[in-house]
Amino acid sequence: MKKIKIIGGGLAGPEAALQAAKFDCDVDLYEMRPHRSTEAHQTSDFAELVCSNSLKSESENTAPWLLKQEMRRAGSILLAEADATAVPAGHALAVDRELFSKRVADRIAAEPRITVHREEVTHLDENDADTLTILASGPLTSPALAAELQRLTGSDHLAFYDSISPIVDATTIDMDKVYFAARYDKGTADYINCPFTKEEYETFLDALTTAENVESKDWEKFPVDGTASKLQYFEGCLPIEETARRGRDTLRFGPMKPVGLTDPKTGRWPYAVVQLRQENLRADSYNIVGFQNHLKYGEQARVLRLIPGLERATFLRYGQIHRNTYIHAPSLLTETLQLKAHPRIMIAGQLSGVEGYTESIASGMLAGRYAAALAHGNTLTPAPRASANGSLTHYITHAETKKFQPANITFDLLPPLEVELRKKMRDKKERHKLQCERALAAWDEWLGAIH
């Protein structure tokens, strides 16, 4: 039976390793940290959540909920650990990131079929007939390994620039100026809301849009092949200052949207609002939702302290930027995540073109299952197109090649309902419910067929 080699200890790699081991395969799991770190990681832990601590919505019949429901039914191990380490976050699944990483590490250590190697992989052997390789090294793949992947694919990498939100010491928040609320009072009031008047918002906006950015580092300017490039931000995760420069009201209709967040002191919605989300079970720190940025640290302290309630805030972590690398999946990958030219090598996680924590874990889950099936000599059956997992994979492998960007799971990726049904079902929630029912039915049928 073929051995499975997995490169990357983020989210996709450990999930793939644990899935393959569950199906009686021996796995070598490689992680280069701590011997070689990256521009964004702060630890050498498995499953470190670099940006926020949220795995998105748990509201029934939403696209993120659907993806997670499919993963739960398939026995995703990292998602089970996320559920076990959840912290209050309203309708979202957010985790205590330290405890989450520890539990994932414990699961890996307890699995006798997984051997961990703390070393950098710099060579990919496409001719090794006895080994299946899952490359899940993430958006911060080392230059040497990225060059190897470029050699194999014969194509340039694409890169966008992703950002990390600041984290605030909870004891330094002025609780007299903020309030807990859930949007439209739905669910539990788990978010701290910092309300702005029009004057406060205008002052904040002026400071934000004129603040000094961090100078671009060499690793930001140059992709793997050494040619210069400008920063190319991912539209789904723009730095807050970039969003603000698109118009005076852009933030009020985006990350600072006050709709449904009634201030108990006034009985009205504020002019704008900044939300803080709990970071861990101790509730001693909060991240500023949607406030990823590329400002100098001193500028961040000055600007962010203009947020009502954060005038004397201590920042445990400032926002920062990092390069995200991903392959051109539509031209390179099959629907079973194999390189078309080298089918013994699979790509999983953000390197494949999926975007987001949950999506990365889902990609690793599929890759681990596919690799295990190949190791046992079984025929691969890709996840069904009607499912959220299948639709996400279908997007990255069939997207229009000239406009390909990483994707989160959305209903736009799922097969649309028939025209007559869409005309008959005018309520979007009802249409989404039907799409979820169809997706879960297709997913359950697929799971039953491959077991």
Bind-site residues = 8-13
Locate all alpha helices (DSSP H) within 309-401, ordered by sequence.
329-332, 357-375, 388-398
198 & 228 share domain: yes
Neighbours of 268 (CB within 10 A): 10
170 & 300 share domain: yes
- 433: three-class secondary structure by DSSP: helix
CATH number, residue 427: 3.50.50.60
pLDDT at 219: 44
* Start-to-end Cα distance in the chain: 19
Residue 198 has pLDDT above 70, yes or no: yes
Residues 6+ positions from 426 with CB-CB distance below 8 Å: none
147 & 176 share domain: no
265 & 381 share domain: no
- Total number of domains constituting the chain: 2
pLDDT at 238: 78
Mean pLDDT of the chain: 89
290, 323, 356: which is the final residue of a domain?
Answer: 323
Q: Which domain holds residue 138?
A: 3-157+327-450
- Residues 414-420 have a mean pLDDT of 86
39 & 130 share domain: yes
77 & 196 share domain: no
pTM flag (> 0.95): no
94 & 149 share domain: yes
Please list the residues that pair with 333 across neighbouring strands: 339
302 & 287 share domain: yes
CATH number, residue 202: 2.40.30.260
408 & 443 share domain: yes
Q: What is the pLDDT of residues 103-129, one digit of tens each?
A: 999 999 999 999 999 999 999 999 999
Q: Which amino acid is at 105?
A: A
Please tell me the distance from the alpha carbon of residue 30 to that of residue 56, in angstroms, as a whole number: 28
Does residue 309 come out as left (phi exceeding 0), alpha (psi in the -120 to 50 range) or beta? left
pLDDT at 227: 45
58 & 191 share domain: no
Does residue 41 come out as left (phi exceeding 0), alpha (psi in the -120 to 50 range) or beta? beta
In the chain, pLDDT over 70 holds for what percent of residues? 90
pLDDT band at 36 (very low <50, low <70, confident <90, very high): low
299, 323, 347: which is the final residue of a domain?
Answer: 323
Q: What is the pLDDT of residues 43-96, one digit of tens each?
A: 668 999 877 889 999 999 999 999 999 999 999 999 999 999 999 988 899 999
pLDDT band at 223 (very low <50, low <70, confident <90, very high): very low
Rg (CA), the chain: 22
pLDDT at 302: 96
DSSP one-letter string for 154-193: TSPPEEEEEEE--EEEGGGS-TTS-EEE-GGG-S---EEE
379 & 400 share domain: yes
Bind-site residues for FAD = 8-13
Do 293 and 319 touch, CB atoms closer than 8 A? yes
280, 307, 323: which is the final residue of a domain?
Answer: 323
259 & 378 share domain: no
Q: What is the pLDDT of residues 281-305, one digit of tens each?
A: 888 899 999 898 889 999 999 999 9
